[in-house]
Amino acid sequence: MALSREAYKAFEAVVGKRNISEDTAICETYRCAAAQSSAHYGPYNHRTPMPAAVLMPGSTEEVQEINRLCNKYKIHYKASTTFWSSHGFIGYDGCIQLDMRRMKKIIIDPKNKVAIIEPYAIAATVQAEAMKYGLTCNIPGVGCSSSVLANTAGWGGAGPSSVFTGNTVENLLCVEWVLPNGEVAVTGTAGSNDGWFYGEGPGPSVRCILRGAGGTCGEMGVCTRMSIKLSPWPGPKYLPTSGISGIYYAEGLDNFRYYTLCFPSWDDWSGCVMKMNEHNLMYTGHRQFSFFGRDVKAAFLRIITNPDLQLCDLPELMADPEVIKTTESMKIEFHTVIAGLSKRDLEWKEEAIDTILKEFHGWKDEWSLRPEIQKYMLTYFIRLGHKNLNYVHCGAYEGHFGLHRNNQILSARLVEPAAAIKREFEESGPWNAKVGGDSAMGSLGGLGGGGGTMGWEFFASYDAHDKKSVEKTCEYFKGPVQDFMTKNCGVTEMGSGQENSRRPDGYCWTQEDHNRKFAGMPGTNMFAYQWQVREKFNPNHLGSSYYQTCDPEYIKEFKAQQAKK
């Protein structure tokens, strides 16, 4: 659905000829192929709608003007940055897509330990700039290629480093926020021209409106600048690495250690995690390489750390007695980086880990203690720059069996039953990579200091080029996975958040759809509240429907009908 010539010319006048396009080839590359990336609403053989045009604003003023024009012409839009996952793409025909990549400035304020960032500043670059001042940022589980601003404004952002730095939501300070009406709200201390160091003022704090329950995900205007809290980086001014072509080794990080900690049971595993959190021992904490799959992860670790090995070496590696030993050793495990803020601090942490491991019958995986593996893992976990290994099996995966937002004890106890379901699916036909059932990966600390598991998901790896593989994976999610979740309270499905936002055909739900969906759900008032916020701030509903709302009038009618029944 093309824009009117009048609207197109008006947008062009704002961003300039070079930064607007309605060419089909350009617009095509702003569609999400739902099978090809972690869409998190299910793998489907379709793409999200074709934008009517793509715009690349270069300043806050341009974003303001775009909002005003969208209101004038009643055009929906979606602002996005790195375009990895389906979240950032438009949800309706006739929408315009904003690509924010021209706005990528990063300013570090070392005195206040904050970074002031624009939308296209990714975690890797924010961290690199922060390291120059002995600071670092949280890098969410999705990896360092993600936009820090988008992650902080719209999502949760738990990852390996959250246990030390807090997740991205916790690090949100001040925001320069272009409201859907085109006005700019500047929150926190920045809102009273006092600098960007504190989110709650003096100056307005409208955090609950900006973020909503699960993040507004781009529906409520566009954040064009943000300050985030930084954390100490007890290392050199940049990440020093040797090695070549992806196999990079951290050099000279003598005050850091990496361990794969392994356990005989999930109860021991969760006991150790909780105790390590209690004592603030971890710089990063994650169950990481299980995403390869329990049966293959040890073999895969050999491949990704050895340039001479490839995927075709898997069968031979899996039969290697040394690899089998590692596979057995790290069945139930997690991965941690320890940072010593001083020599004594490191010694104490090492001793504390040994003591806790003893209490919970754990051990350090021997292979991971090799010096070159230590160096590789330090690079891996500190920068988190290899997250595309998530797709290494066949190019696509989807997460399921969330196990997140729970305490470690509950989550851990559900891994084996969930793994059994997954294994059954893997063995049911050639639809998914057959990797051993358990492929649960996630953060050990949803909050700074630990507590809860966050972002946990089982990986189901399928071939986006094989339509049957996609369909069967989808059927598995709708069948056995849903059944399992219904029977086991506390298990949330990783894709569910996006399922509430985008339909199986790639379009976003309409308000009518949302009314029907949310009116009967527990906590309806939250959706009604968000509806009222949205109506005030965004009466023309310019964004997608990721911000979940329910019309209070509809709820009233729904309740009345229910009462009659």
Partner 1 sequence: MALKDFVAMQERCSNCSFCKWIPFDKIKSNRFSENCPAGVWANWNTYFARGRFQMGLALVNGEFDYNSERADIARSCLDCGACDVSCKVCRYNLEPLAHNRELKHDAVEHGNVLAVQKKMLDSYAKEHTLLAGKKKEDRAKWAEKIAWAKDAEVFFFPGCKYSYDRKLAAKAKDIAEILLSAGVKLGYLGKDDACCGGRAYQMGFFDEFAKGADANIKAFKKHGVKTIVTPCSDCYHALKRLYAERGLDVEVLHVVEYLDRLIQDGTIKFTRTVNRTVTYHDPCHLGRQGEPYEAWNGTEKKILNQIHTWEPRRPRYNGRLGIYEEPRNIIKAIPGVRLVEMERIKEYAWCCGAGGGMQAVNPELSKWTASERITEANATGADTLVTACPWCESNFAGAVDENGRTINVMDIIDLVKEAL
Q: How far apart are the first and last CA of the chain?
A: 43
Secondary structure letter of residue 137 according to DSSP: -
Helix axes 266-278, 408-426, angle to 10 degrees: 140
Euclidean distance between CA atoms 95 and 70, whole angstroms: 10
Radius of gyration of the chain (CA): 24
Positive or negative torsion for Cα 532, 533, 534, 538: positive
**Min separation Cβ 541 and partner 1, Å:** 26
Distance, CA of 210 to CA of 204 (rounded, Å) = 12
Binding residue count for partner 1, defined by CB under 8 A: 81
Classified as helix, coil or strand, 339 is strand
Q: How far is the CB of 39 from partner 1 (least distance, A)?
A: 10
Measured from the CB of residue 428, what is the shortest distance to partner 1 in angstroms?
A: 10
**80 versus 329: smaller Cβ distance to partner 1:** 80
Contact residue for partner 1 among 8, 266, 391, 529 (CB under 8 A):
391
For residue 391, give the amino acid letter: Y
Among 92, 196, 248, 458, binds partner 1 (CB under 8 A): 248
Binding residue for partner 1, selected from 306, 342, 355, 388, defined by CB under 8 A = 388
Among 210, 464, 542, 550, binds partner 1 (CB under 8 A): 464
Distance CA(155)–CA(234), nearest Å, equals 28
Cβ count near 413 (within 10 Å): 17
Which is closer to partner 1, CB of 249 or CB of 558? Answer: 249
Q: Contacting partner 1 (CB under 8 A), which of 16, 110, 202, 246? A: 246
Q: Which among 425, 421, 414 is positioned nearest to 456, based on CA atoms?
A: 414
Residue with tokens 């049966």: 295
Q: Where are the alpha helices (DSSP H) in 132-190?
A: 148-154, 162-165
Rounded CA separation 547/555 (Å): 17
Question: Rounded to the nearest whole angstrom, what is the least distance from the CB of residue 155 to partner 1 in the complex?
Answer: 17
List the one residue from 260, 408, 461, 501 that touches partner 1 (CB under 8 A).
461
29 binds partner 1 (CB under 8 A): yes
| Residue whose CB is less far from partner 1, 169 or 464 | 464
User: Contacts with partner 1 in 271-290 (CB under 8 A)?
Assistant: none
Which member of 144, 179, 332, 414 binds partner 1 (CB under 8 A)? Answer: 144
**Quick one: which of 59, 112, 145, 231 contacts partner 1 (CB under 8 A)?**
145
Taking contact as CB under 8 A, which single stretch among the options 30-38, 330-338, 342-350, 366-374 is the one that binds partner 1? Answer: 30-38
Among 245, 321, 486, 564, binds partner 1 (CB under 8 A): 245
Number of H helices, E strands in the chain: 20, 20
Site string for partner 1, 62-101 (x = CB under 8 A): --------------------xxx--------------x-x
Nearest distance from C-beta of residue 372 to partner 1, angstroms:
15
- Binding to partner 1 (CB under 8 A): which residues in 297-336? 307, 310-312, 314-315
CA distances from 536 to 202, 220, 308, 459, 539 (A): 24, 10, 59, 40, 6
- Cα-based distances in Å from 172 to 21, 175, 256, 466, 523: 33, 8, 27, 41, 26
Q: Name the residue nearer to partner 1 (CB basis): 281 or 481.
A: 481
Residues 100-129 that bind partner 1 (CB under 8 A): 101-102, 104-106, 121-122, 124-126, 128-129
Cβ of residue 93: shortest distance to partner 1, in angstroms? 16
Nearest 5°: the CA angle 11, 13, 18 is 85
Rounded CA-CA distance 179/139 in Å is: 27
Choose the stretch contacting partner 1; rule: CB under 8 A; options: 341-349, 424-432, 494-502, 507-515. 424-432
Q: How far apart are CA 138 and CA 157, in angstroms?
A: 8
Scanning residues 38 to 67, which ones bind partner 1 (CB under 8 A)?
54, 56
Helix (H, G, I), strand (E, B) or coil at 117: strand
Is 259 among the residues that bind partner 1 (CB under 8 A)? Answer: no
DSSP 8-state secondary structure symbol assigned to residue 213: T
Residue closer to partner 1, measured from CB, 65 or 463: 463
3-state SS assignment for residue 334: strand
- Footprint of partner 1 on 432-451 (CB under 8 A): 432-435
Q: Which of residues 185-244 bind partner 1 (CB under 8 A)?
A: 238-239, 241, 244
Beta carbon of residue 68, minimum distance to partner 1 (angstroms, whole number): 23
Q: Is the separation of the CB atoms in 18 and 26 below 8 Å?
A: no
Residue environment code for 369-391, b if the CB has 16+ CB neighbours within 10 A, otherwise e: eeeebbbbbbbbbbbbbbbebbb
Instruction: Please report how close the Cβ of residue 129 comes to partner 1 at its closest, in angstroms.
Output: 5
Q: 7 to 26, contacts with partner 1 by CB under 8 A? A: 19, 21, 23-26
Cβ closer to partner 1: 278 or 427? 427
- Among residues 397 and 558, whose Cβ is nearest to partner 1? 397
